[in-house]
């Protein structure tokens, strides 16, 4: 399930400020209270894909260790995409809440049992 929402999660992590890959992963972990403990290597292909799609752009800086560091920024297109993901997620979450909150299975299945009766 998380895999299908990876792009939205990465965009949400970048919404606050520009960040490099490791900081994005840490932000996801922190904001999800440790629930989203992503396989770290999967985030970089997602960032690459989002950059190709124009949702983020990136620039090289130098890390304190002297290595090159790629810092990602959300673009206006990425922000619009994030807003869309948020709307879709709200509708989905509301529908799931409604389904789960219903205590009467009959309310989901209609009147009577789901098999032919005489």
Partner 1 sequence: MADALEAYLDALGEALRFDPPLAVRVVDEVGDHLDCALAAELSGAGTDGGAEAALARVIVRFGAPQRIAGKFALLALESNADRLWRLAALTAAISFAVMRLRELHLDPVEAAGDGLAIASLALDRGAFIAALVLGLWGWRLARDARRSWRPDPRGWSRLFAGLRLSALALGALMLSVAADTALTLPRLIEAAEAVFWPAAALTVEIALVLALAIAVSRSREQAAAVRRLLV
Closest CA to 22 of 73, 70, 64: 70
Please report where in the chains the tokens 């904001």 appear, as a residue.
31
Closest CA to 78 of 39, 50, 114: 50
On whether the CB atoms of residues 27 and 13 are closer than 8 A, the answer is: yes
Is position 69 an interface residue for partner 1 (rule: CB under 8 A)? Answer: yes
Among 45, 59, 98, 107, binds partner 1 (CB under 8 A): 45
Among 17, 22, 87, 106, binds partner 1 (CB under 8 A): 22
Helix or strand or coil: residue 61?
strand
Stretch in the footprint of partner 1 (CB under 8 A) among 10-18, 46-54, 83-91, 101-109: 46-54
Least separation, in Å, of the C-beta of 75 and partner 1?
18
Among 34, 39, 76, 103, binds partner 1 (CB under 8 A): 39
């Amino acid at each position: 399930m998380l895999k299908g929402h990876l792009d939205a999660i990465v965009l949400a992590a970048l919404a606050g400020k520009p960040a490099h890959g490791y900081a994005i992963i840490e932000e996801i972990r922190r904001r999800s209270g440790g629930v989203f403990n992503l396989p770290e290597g999967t985030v970089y292909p997602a960032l690459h894909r989002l950059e190709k799609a124009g949702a983020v752009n990136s620039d090289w800086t130098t890390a304190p260790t002297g290595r090159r560091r790629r810092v990602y920024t959300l673009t206006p297109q990425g922000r619009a995409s994030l807003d869309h993901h948020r709307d879709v997620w709200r509708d989905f979450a509301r529908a799931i809440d409604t389904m789960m909150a219903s205590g009467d299975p009959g309310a989901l299945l209609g009147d009577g049992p789901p098999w032919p009766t005489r």
